[in-house]
Structure 1
């Protein structure tokens, strides 16, 4: 962006510069990339509904399990095999059980675990408790059976047997049990509420992904089958199954839908060897006729079903649409990046296309404080000096940056039409042919770096510059220099061309004419005012202009290196 004042910036518009390459190959690359990006933008806009404002679901769950099972000893109904919820939005179904009946608080032998086996009373510590024991040791070693002695404990006797879960599971028929899941959801941003119970709900339906995908009644065996699990195997030691309900809703009137999608997966690690499955203990207590308390201990295995609800709802929003389109437009700019990277990195190192592309696209801007531009009358190019001067500027080598552009613009030509002579065609030998005409120095005091004999001594290295690279006639002796640079009438016309109402009768008119002459010379020899502040005018030309339009106090600033 060009520099401008605060008020001027408000009245200007800056546009980016574009370089156009006439290449079928790169054009095809661009359009292929644009088509790909356009297809992606259209796909995400429609399929992902990026034009909608989104909101997350708030949910509540209510479940009812139904079914009856029979074992050798009893009938198990809903009150028997379902337990109070172990966590939020979950339910538990008993599939296997170990019962220890008729327990009373007594003294009895401990179950023969490693730390409880003893040979005498010395092996038992009174008051000792182990985290695997069923009670508190009394200090006695008693017979557990005819072959094993264990430490006596004060506990609920007889103590629980630590044998494994029964195989097959006691309630293996529970796979035919069904559960009704009632799910109420709410999207607060849109004040929208609904549930998973259809309006035409058939209470005899059972969920099936193909035939009844919206039925909220699920058979437990089907749930485990959908989770890629075998119900009979899981029922032995239990497990945790996730029931996922996903609500993906569009609340737009022209494209409304809001229905749940169900999915199932196992949540616990079935490969672990320590504490596999899912189990816990509970007891049922009774009072005997004599007032003594008795209980039945249950160690139950089963499946915990966790209901997990996810969902988002969307509704058309013009701000979301504009924001998305605006962000996607920037993706089209990647085509330029990809093609430029291909040209820069994938093309041959010496490819003409690569070099041409680099010259056209990139412009190197050096630090202005380290840059000086020089033009010699006997060389057809501008020389760039970026080195720190260790000798005179005349003898410092630089780089050729560009050929001379067209000399003198229309603005200058319009100021020189008062002459009947053609400054370009008349006496052509006064310009470039000067390099063929050699002459000796006109003064014994001529500086060593001077090739034209018109330069003046100076200690500043950056001002030690001649108009020529080789011996020859000075450019200040050319009629063109007189007409284009020193002519008072032409300089006044140039000043008035820029400022028509400028007062040329003021006391400082020489300063204006001198500065204008410097600019005329730069425009003539360098072809552009873009280099105005970093071009060095040869000593001979500089002093010729100063002598023609002197400063009142005779003190001149000169070229500034910093």
Structure 2
């Protein structure tokens, strides 16, 4: 028992096993093998290394966005002239990455808390019984008092009076001048993995340049000042159409940086997308079009609280930063190479399947590839006093003698190599 354990440990530590190799001279199989290997090589070089940049590690940025609007608007409604500046038409006013620019509005001035009739179509009635006391309607302006107003045939409500009438939206938009407003975007990004910081105010941009430049995708692609009309146009919309009822536009600041190159080549690209609606869709098939909200300005008059209500139609701008930085790293490089080398084994598997199951002489190739052990015959040879290696030599010669005569077709030739085939 001790000798068996010792022999087993000795065999384990001091012996080396190597696969048996069979060299097959067959043109068809050889061409298939080389084509598969060529395809794998093209995949590794073309897709993994060139397209996917498998030799580089990647990182996304931590980003900050600051915005500033400039421009002045003018309206003249019913003889009432008014000038609108940034403090009036931008919501909110903090310079955030998401904000609204007012392009149209409905104003209701001098509202105060009281009782007044609802708008026609909201709470229609023919008698007081149609107006439930204390009830609310989702589309109404206040709480019903239980009185039906004969002059309007609508229910009386407790609300801010007079109630807002938003049935008619001004057309053309009241603030068409918003088309000429300008937007300044200041964006900074940090790639923490590589310790790189960049700003959209790159090396070629200085104070003089900012003072006179205006973004153009071809002439001035790095200028951080954008005309609102150009943004709407580049997103695929008509400014007058979207200004009437409002909408949403996405401004994408894209950073795609190869940090193996000069850091100055890490520059932003700007893209513009319509986030609401489809520019080619007909207006009559759209549901809940536009973007609007209400806000009120409260004040006191003769000790009575009043307010001015505005229903604002505007364009919502969402500034989105997308980033991806790449830099050479030995670990993903070795991983990509190792996985590619492993894929080369596909050629061997396919060729083995062709040899062993598809070719007419598959039995011949099986005899060349596999070495069979016949335990009873081996025992017979030992009983006759034959050396085991001599027996396998005789058996191999016998198997080859059973194979049909050698053909002149080079596809039928086969040679085997390996230490166990020596005579």
Aligned with residue 285 of structure 1, among 292, 298, 307: 298
1:335 match: 347
Aligned with residue 92 of structure 2, among 84, 90, 93: 84
Post-superposition shift, 1:57?
A: 1.0
Whether the 8 Å CA contact 2:252–2:322 is kept in 1: the answer is: yes
Whether the 8 Å CA contact 1:245–1:309 is kept in 2: the answer is: yes
Structure 1 length normalisation: TM-score? 0.60
Distance across 2 between alignment mates of 1:275 and 1:17:
74
Alignment RMSD (CA, Å)? 3.3
The change in CA–CA distance for 1:17 and 1:525 in structure 2 (over 3 A counts) is: closer
Distance across 1 between alignment mates of 2:361 and 2:89:
80
The change in CA–CA distance for 1:34 and 1:132 in structure 2 (over 3 A counts) is: same
**How big is each residue's C-alpha offset from its partner over 1:285-344, in whole Å with a ceiling of 9 and x where there is no partner?**
2221x1212111111111111111121222222222222211122222222334445567
1:124 match: 131
Distance across 2 between alignment mates of 1:39 and 1:217:
44
1:268 match: 276
Distance across 1 between alignment mates of 2:274 and 2:313:
16
1:58 match: 62
**How big is each residue's C-alpha offset from its partner over 1:10-50, in whole Å with a ceiling of 9 and x where there is no partner?**
55544444433223333333333333333332233244332
Count of aligned residue pairs for this structure pair:
375
2:36 match: 33
Aligned with residue 20 of structure 1, among 14, 20, 23: 23
Higher RCO (C-alpha under 8 Å, 6+ residues apart): 2
SS at match of 2:331: helix
2:406 match: none
Post-superposition shift, 1:113?
A: 2.7
SS at match of 2:34: helix
The gaps in structure 2 that reach 5 residues or longer are 1-6, 396-423
2:392 match: 527
The change in CA–CA distance for 1:258 and 1:111 in structure 2 (over 3 A counts) is: same
Deviates more, 1:245-254 or 1:305-314: 245-254
1:197 to 2:62 alignment? no
The gaps in structure 1 that reach 5 residues or longer are 366-371, 376-381, 383-466, 468-484, 486-516, 531-562
**How big is each residue's C-alpha offset from its partner over 1:185-217, in whole Å with a ceiling of 9 and x where there is no partner?**
111112221111123321122222222222211
The change in CA–CA distance for 1:31 and 1:525 in structure 2 (over 3 A counts) is: closer
Deviates more, 1:94-103 or 1:78-87: 78-87
Q: How does 1:432-443 map to 2 (within 5 A)?
A: none
- Greater strand share, 1 or 2? 2
Aligned with residue 149 of structure 1, among 124, 128, 153: 153
Q: How does 1:291-302 map to 2 (within 5 A)?
A: 291-302=303-314
Whether the 8 Å CA contact 1:519–1:529 is kept in 2: the answer is: no
Distance across 2 between alignment mates of 1:363 and 1:239:
76
Post-superposition shift, 1:229?
A: 2.2
The change in CA–CA distance for 1:211 and 1:523 in structure 2 (over 3 A counts) is: same
Post-superposition shift, 1:86?
A: 10
Whether the 8 Å CA contact 2:66–2:186 is kept in 1: the answer is: yes
The change in CA–CA distance for 1:168 and 1:319 in structure 2 (over 3 A counts) is: same
**How big is each residue's C-alpha offset from its partner over 1:356-379, in whole Å with a ceiling of 9 and x where there is no partner?**
4455446789xxxxxx7555xxxx
Whether the 8 Å CA contact 2:114–2:158 is kept in 1: the answer is: yes
**How big is each residue's C-alpha offset from its partner over 1:486-513, in whole Å with a ceiling of 9 and x where there is no partner?**
xxxxxxxxxxxxxxxxxxxxxxxxxxxx
1:235 to 2:243 alignment? yes
Whether the 8 Å CA contact 1:118–1:149 is kept in 2: the answer is: yes
Distance across 1 between alignment mates of 2:54 and 2:148:
76
Whether the 8 Å CA contact 2:202–2:267 is kept in 1: the answer is: no
Distance across 2 between alignment mates of 1:164 and 1:529:
105
Distance across 1 between alignment mates of 2:170 and 2:8:
89
Distance across 1 between alignment mates of 2:40 and 2:216:
39
Whether the 8 Å CA contact 2:298–2:307 is kept in 1: the answer is: yes
Post-superposition shift, 1:55?
A: 1.4
Whether the 8 Å CA contact 1:53–1:316 is kept in 2: the answer is: yes
1:310 to 2:317 alignment? no
Distance across 1 between alignment mates of 2:69 and 2:52:
37
The change in CA–CA distance for 1:153 and 1:332 in structure 2 (over 3 A counts) is: same
Whether the 8 Å CA contact 1:140–1:151 is kept in 2: the answer is: yes
Whether the 8 Å CA contact 2:124–2:153 is kept in 1: the answer is: yes
Distance across 2 between alignment mates of 1:363 and 1:284:
95
Whether the 8 Å CA contact 1:522–1:529 is kept in 2: the answer is: no
**How big is each residue's C-alpha offset from its partner over 1:454-489, in whole Å with a ceiling of 9 and x where there is no partner?**
xxxxxxxxxxxxx9xxxxxxxxxxxxxxxxx8xxxx
Distance across 2 between alignment mates of 1:15 and 1:45:
33
SS at match of 2:265: coil
